[in-house]
Amino acid sequence: MNTPKNIAIIMDGNGRWAQKQNKNRSAGHKEGVKTLKKIVKAAADLKVESLTVYAFSTENWKRPKAEVDFLLTLMRRTMRNEVEELLQNGVKVNFIGRKDELSENLINEIDHIEKHSLKNKKLTLNIAFNYGGRAEIIDSAKKIAEAYKNNEIKLDQLDENNFSDFLYNRQLQDVELLIRTGGDMRLSNFLLWQSAYAELYFTDKFWPDFEAEDLIKAIKEFKQRERRFGGLNGGENDA
């Protein structure tokens, strides 16, 4: 089996990593950014085409205001500081999620990096920010209802293929390998539609401790799995 072209990562464990190091949670989030830079480079070197990371969920607004404010500031600062390096390394950056709750300054940073990286082709980095899988499906349903109202689509023409056209990013292909760090074994409302047939890989390592070697290990396990998509590969006795 070939290296998966589309990988998604739930970057979990920044806060717990910091607590284990007797540091505040913000230190863990800063370290998590450093890890993301390393993994983006490793993914590009491994010829991965698309890497989608869970940076901030729609549920993360429930966290203490000080931590939420820090995460928003960190995202804006990171984009501003890292944009040139990402562009030089051929990384195309897309954001998926709801923008309406974000500040104008953050939206401007998002628009800037998306616009200037549009033609890059080495790796597409999709950043899920203020994202929720259920929210994406609900927003897509609203777009379909509006399209139907405007006679732009007929309901009997709607199927799995063109439903994807109404998601946040129609270019985002189905996830082949979904990795979650931090020890928890759940999707946490991440890419529910796109991960329908994803191979799931869980590790106890906190995100700041995740290395390129861990990504390679996950890919090696992916290659050992049999992907049947509901069909049979080996014979009629297959489950």
**Continuous segment of H or E residues that includes residue 56:** strand 50-57
Angstrom CA distances, 2 to 41, 120, 216, stand at 19, 23, 13
DSSP per-residue codes, 175-201: PSEEEE-SS--S-TTSSTTTTTTPEEE
Distance in angstroms (rounded) separating the CA atoms of residues 67 and 29: 10
Distance CA 196, CA 8 (A): 13
- The position carrying tokens 């049979």 is 232
Check if 209 is active-site.
no
- Catalytic residue (one of 24, 60, 89, 120): 60
Amino acid at 14: N
Contacts of residue 102, Cβ cutoff 8 Å, sequence gap at least 6: 72, 110, 129, 130
Residues 6+ apart with CB under 8 A from 82: 37
Is residue 35 within 8 A of residue 210, CB to CB? The reply is yes
Catalytic annotation, pick one of 6, 12, 126, 214: 12
Does the active-site annotation cover 60? yes
Packed helices 25-45 and 212-224: angle between N→C axes, nearest 10 degrees: 60
Active site residues: 12, 60
